[in-house]
Structure 1
């Protein structure tokens, strides 16, 4: 996987340094990532989706597992056997049935957040199948973009920094 640095956010001041040459726009009803990627699903994601009335056996692929070294991280989101799409992707409209409750990995894609001390580095996965990368109508990964799209994720990391310094 090729990844490219697009921004760094200071978790104390929320100042952002970004690459002004990169722009991103998620293309509505594209769904390419829902076919191409294996999505890790965290325990928190499973609980949130079960609260919608789904049973974990319907959407967790217990045969696919993600590891970092020898440490188990999570299972994967199930794919449909007939076309390889995510079980929550409507095959006709290409819309996610649980969009507002989707797993964090889905929400972050194509971005990868890497905490480095009191800074959060933001990279983008340069997947050839994603038409939103460097899209002419896209927007740069500025402070406004990061806080609008990922403000809750950033705030969660900020709270962890405050707890450690107390």
Structure 2
């Protein structure tokens, strides 16, 4: 289930949010890397290829993502022996391409939905994610959003505001 946690005004950057929700990504958890199917955008594939990987090493061409009848992209490949993402280090549970990881990985567990000049932010309430409502978590404030997703928000602002 998806739950609304915040709305950011792309013009003013004002944020309205649910103060009862808190989040903290738990280090070396890797549960999302094991449990999720990750869609890849063309930009994600290009960014990973720049690191020296060939697309066939990390793109699962048999898994396709659609929104309605619009093709969105292929999935990130999973390892056959444990079903985890090919970039998750099995020992340390850390991502080998963390700074270049796909947008879907960066955003998780959040979903950004643009409505005109506002961006609504929902959380995907997956039971396996220990960071959702973590006791040491932080609320989804303007500071949190700009620190974690400033570049993503800026990209949307350029598209919306010109």
**Structure 2-normalised TM-score?**
0.99
Residues 100-159 of structure 1: CA deviation (Å, up to 9, x unaligned): 000000000000000011100000000000000000000000000000000001001110
Aligned residues: 162
1:14-163 → structure 2 map (5 Å cutoff):
14-163=13-162
Long gaps (5+) in structure 1: none
Q: What is the root-mean-square deviation in Å for CA atoms of aligned residues?
A: 0.4
Counterpart CA distance in 1 for 2:32 and 2:161 is 35
Higher mean alpha-carbon deviation, 154-163 vs 87-96, is at 154-163
Counterpart CA distance in 2 for 1:11 and 1:31 is 31
Q: CA deviation at 1:69?
A: 1.1
Q: Stretches of 4+ moved more than 2 A in 1?
A: none
Q: CA deviation at 1:30?
A: 0.1
Counterpart CA distance in 1 for 2:133 and 2:67 is 30
Q: CA deviation at 1:78?
A: 0.1
Q: CA deviation at 1:70?
A: 1.2
Counterpart CA distance in 1 for 2:12 and 2:46 is 33
Residues 69-108 of structure 1: CA deviation (Å, up to 9, x unaligned): 1111100000000000000000010000000000000000
Counterpart CA distance in 2 for 1:112 and 1:91 is 27
